[in-house]
Amino acid sequence: MKSTTVILDSRPISLTALRLIHSVAFVGLVSCLFTIAFTLAYPQFVQNMLVQWSPWFLGLFVVGIPHGALDHRVGLELGNKHSSTPAFVAGPGFYVAYLAAAGLVLAAWFAWPIAAFSGFLVIAAIHFGQGDLYWSHQFGLAARSGSVGYRALLLLTRALLPIALPFMAFPGELSGPTEHMVNGLFRHETFSIDPEAIGVGLYGLAAIVGLQIFWACWLARSGGIAIKQAAALDVFETLILVAMFGIVPPVLALGVYFNAWHSLRHLARLLLTTKFTRELVESGQWPAALGNLYKKTLPMTFGALLLMVIVACLVGRFEVSVASLGLLALVGLSMLTLPHVLVVTWMDERQGIWSSLPDPDQ
């Protein structure tokens, strides 16, 4: 008789829950493929600023902010009496540390806007890589191969594609918004993208992507059907992201990716991490699980919105336009990214994402 459970995070999970996770991945993949096809079919239409920013305005408050709004519960859900849980991820100290990290980022925007912008890109890249590494650890090659080196390379590849590739493929389109974010919202500082650095960067990124694809194929050669399927999934997703960020205008590409791919996947991770949603998911009560999840995220989501309003009042140097509002939202998002990345890093450690042992279920 076929088992009704599989292993996820070293714990049994029902096939019902697994189907939900696969559905989440499917939404991200289809959203990216549709965006690529739409861009190729209607290249002029996607140049409209309202079109480019629409995924941000539609998705940021539905999945974008909520995907990090359960950070205050992570320590309680993953901590246990047999191991220490840092104050940053559990207890009263969490809120102080979280707000302090966010305040530090905001202060950097006012004091050193270019450094703050650069730091935001680096931290966001690391976080995107983290998210895809976790997904590969569950469904791709990261755990099944047992190779820590491959995991590091996959994280690097998936970190660079959403952040570095758009700057290389669309330097003209990103230099304007970046300069407006740095100069228009804060204070005047010179910003430019070196054309020579773009060429060198493209060769370097191509080498990294090629090496990740080659390594995945190499690991698949000596593995069974499960490893071959996992390797194919990792390679397929990498190629989709190359096309996404190499063809689609960057603001639109990042909006679709951040909300439909990255944020949805993290929400799915939370559904299986928190006890009050995991049990509902495994019993097939997906709407109830999502409802409970969003109820728990409401305080932090409203707090994030309030934070963005405060940022807008403090900046006070922007024209009311689609682009300016979008850039202000990104500044607010950057404040939340640093503490969120620290929480997710702790989650990765607690859930054994960097364990060198292959998945025993394969």
Percentage, residues of the chain above pLDDT 70? 81
Instruction: List helix spans (H) across the chain.
Output: 15-41, 49-59, 71-78, 93-111, 113-139, 141-145, 148-169, 171-179, 195-221, 225-247, 250-256, 264-273, 275-282, 286-315, 322-350
Mind listing the pLDDT tens digit for each residue in 163-182? 999 988 888 776 666 666 66
More confident residue, 333 or 327: 333
Measured in degrees and rounded to the nearest 5, phi and psi for residue 299 equal -60, -45
236-262 mean pLDDT: 95
Mind listing the pLDDT tens digit for each residue in 70-114? 888 777 777 654 455 555 555 677 888 888 998 899 888 888 888
Residue 159, pLDDT score: 96
Domain spans of the chain?
Answer: 5-81+95-350
CA neighbor of 49 nearest in space, from 242, 258, 327: 327
Place of tokens 């088992």: 3
Q: Decide if pLDDT at 187 tops 70.
A: no
More confident residue, 258 or 270: 258
Q: Decide if pLDDT at 5 tops 80.
A: no
Residue 181, pLDDT score: 65
Residue 313, pLDDT score: 76
Answer whether 0.75 is exceeded by the pTM: yes
264-285 mean pLDDT: 84
Residue 88, pLDDT score: 54
Q: Decide if pLDDT at 152 tops 70.
A: yes
Q: What is the DSSP letter of 87?
A: T
Q: How far is CA 57 from CA 83, 258, 359, in A?
A: 41, 12, 39
Distance from C-alpha of 182 to C-alpha of 327, rounded to nearest angstrom: 10
Q: Decide if pLDDT at 360 tops 60.
A: no
Reduced to 3 states (helix: H, G, I; strand: E, B; else coil), residue 14 is strand
Residue 341, pLDDT score: 93
Q: Decide if pLDDT at 357 tops 70.
A: no
Burial letters for 71-94: b for 16+ Cβ neighbours within 10 Å, e otherwise? Answer: bbbbbebbbeeeeebeebbbbeeb
Q: Decide if pLDDT at 262 tops 50.
A: yes
130-142 mean pLDDT: 87
Q: Decide if pLDDT at 318 tops 80.
A: no
